[in-house]
Amino acid sequence: MSNRSSSKRAKGSGEEMVSVALKDIANLCKRRGFIFQDSEIYGGIGSVWDYGPLGVELKNSVKSQWWKSMVYDRNDIVGLDSAILMNPEVWKASGHVGSFADMMVDCKECRKRYRIDHLKESNCPECGGDLTEPRSFNLMFKTQVGSVEGQTTDVYLRPETAQGIFVNFENILNSSRKKPPFGVAQIGKSFRNEITTGNFTFRSREFEQMEMEFFVKPGEDEEWYEYWVNARFEWYRSLGIRKENLRLREHDKDELAHYSKRCHDVEYLFPMGWSELEGIANRSDFDLTQHSKLSGRELNYLDTSTGERYVPYVIEPSGGVDRAVLAFLVDAYRKETVKGRDRVFLSIDKRLAPIKIAVLPLLKKNGEIVEMAHRLRNELGGRYRVVYDDTAAIGRLYRRQDEIGTPYCVTVDVDSLTDGKVTVRDRDTMEQERVEASRLNDYMLERLPF
Ligand code: GAP
């Protein structure tokens, strides 16, 4: 969490433009079924999005790559799936009731609301009207638990997943027998009543976070902090984000969130400029100390080998799933001219591609070709997301798959029926290769990592 009340803008934000416009990405997302406006048939609802058939695959792949790198590839991190609704005391302890607010102003003429740190001028940017005095606006969504009128309790939709980890610290310590340094990873929905929205999914009111709280001995926190800042930067690089579009930026002291000792943002060069993808913070012992005070439970660790008892410090890499999805889409977007025709393709990492293989029959009227294509789809489909498509001519089918980033198209033609071979076309190079259909499973296993 960056300091929501800070008047600073991210350094460099809005300064540089890259070639693909966000509206091109939004168009592609709608046209191909990645992302739709939520409740669109009713006119939508501001900054809430639905992920379509391809979007859900991409999102799941981003989450599973994160989970793999955080949990499966290591022995010092365990997972958690805590609830969205929590006892409201949690948010008092965490400081969200008191401090999770933006300073905002309203236009006295057109009633539009702005975050003060996003305003460059002293009047309304829309109509030039006078603005009200700044007021603090808490970003948490409130609702009620209980069914009897007058006997309900106000609760909040969580604005971060992290607190679910802190309140389960004791449970996890006792049940998993982990000792610092160790971490707890969680992916889940968070909600913020954002004032300034726009920029497609970048700032949504309902979004998903991938957060990991890494508990360390005080004194070892700086070392682990450096480790996680680098590890998280490299994770985006390892999944193909171009180096020139990614940078680290350390927060100035006056930008730090109330709990934060230090924080680095991993920033991506989105079409609207350098913007935060993920924050890596040293939360010190703030959260465990606060929850100990308010709950009355001692949240600390006893090192039985030395007899030393301490409140662990926490290093937190906290990323947004939706922002990562958007960055992967923007970064993969390519346009080129091939033999006088424009080609749009998503050169996305194969592990993230929503569809891994498309099986295409060259002649859909030939029953044997169609049957062979279906058989191959079914054989490959047990392992990967594979589609069969015969709804257009082959050139058009290729363009469709290019645009959604499918790494391989497998074409079955008349020759396949006699020589048992199919044509495999590579998305990026467009090179084609004849491959024995009986070897296709192994061929894909060699080329499509998990
Ligand atoms: N637990 C720390 C925390 O929540 P944050 O910087 O407020 O820190 C972490 O949020 C990440 O969550 C951000 O880097 C961003 O990727 C994502 N995020 C935050 N607010 C968001 C929003 N309104 N829409 C989409 N993603 C958001």
- pTM of structure: 0.93
Please state at what angle helix 367-381 crosses helix 440-447, rounded to 10 degrees: 50
The closest-lying atom of ligand 1 relative to the alpha carbon of residue 281 is: 2
Ligand 1 touching residue 279 (CB < 6 A): yes
The answer to whether the CB of 327 falls within 8 A of the CB of 268 is yes
- Mean pLDDT over residues 189-210, rounded? 94
Taking Cα atoms as reference points, which of 305, 432, 296, 311 lies closest to residue 360? 432
pLDDT at 117: 85
- C-alpha span between 13 and 274 (Å, rounded): 5
Percent of the chain with pLDDT over 90: 87
- Mean pLDDT over residues 352-370, rounded? 97
Cis amide prior to 88 (ω within 30 degrees): no
pLDDT at 182: 98
- The residue whose CA has the least distance to atom 7 of ligand 1 is 1
Taking Cα atoms as reference points, which of 168, 159, 150, 189 lies closest to residue 88? 159
pLDDT at 196: 75
385 vs 102 pLDDT, higher one: 385
- The yes-or-no verdict on residue 197 having pLDDT over 90 is no
Lowest mean pLDDT among 31-40, 193-202, 349-358: 193-202
pLDDT at 7: 34
Ligand 1 touching residue 199 (CB < 6 A): no
pLDDT at 68: 98
- The residue whose CA has the least distance to atom 26 of ligand 1 is 320
pLDDT tens sequence across 149-184: 788 899 999 999 999 999 999 999 999 999 999 999
Bridge partners of 206?
A: 191
All domains of the chain, ordered by start, with CATH?
15-20+333-447 (3.40.50.800), 30-86+161-329 (3.30.930.10)
Q: Which of 99, 260, 318, 325 to mutate to test the pocket of ligand 1 (most atoms within 8 A of CB)?
A: 318
- Mean pLDDT over residues 392-413, rounded? 97
- C-alpha span between 301 and 286 (Å, rounded): 15
The answer to whether the CB of 78 falls within 8 A of the CB of 94 is no
The three-state secondary structure class of 179 is coil
- Expressed in angstroms and rounded, the spacing between residue 435 Cα and the centre of ligand 1 is 46
pLDDT tens sequence across 15-49: 333 478 999 999 999 999 999 999 999 999 999 99
- Mean pLDDT over residues 239-265, rounded? 95
In terms of phi and psi (left: phi > 0; alpha: psi -120 to 50; beta: otherwise), the region of 244 is alpha
- Mean pLDDT over residues 257-264, rounded? 93
- DSSP E strand boundaries for 222-321: 246-250, 262-270, 273-284, 301-303, 308-310, 313-320
8 vs 326 pLDDT, higher one: 326
Alpha carbon distance, N-terminus to C-terminus of the chain: 31
- Expressed in angstroms and rounded, the spacing between residue 363 Cα and the centre of ligand 1 is 49
- The yes-or-no verdict on residue 12 having pLDDT over 90 is no
Q: Each residue of 185-220: b (16+ CB within 10 Å) or e?
A: bbbbebbbebbeeebbbbbbbbbbbbbbbbbbbeee
- The distance of Cα 436 from the centroid of its chain, to the nearest Å, equals 38
- C-alpha span between 445 and 449 (Å, rounded): 7
pLDDT category, 1, cuts 50, 70, 90? low
Average model confidence (pLDDT) across the chain: 94
- C-alpha span between 333 and 356 (Å, rounded): 17
Ligand 1 touching residue 203 (CB < 6 A): yes
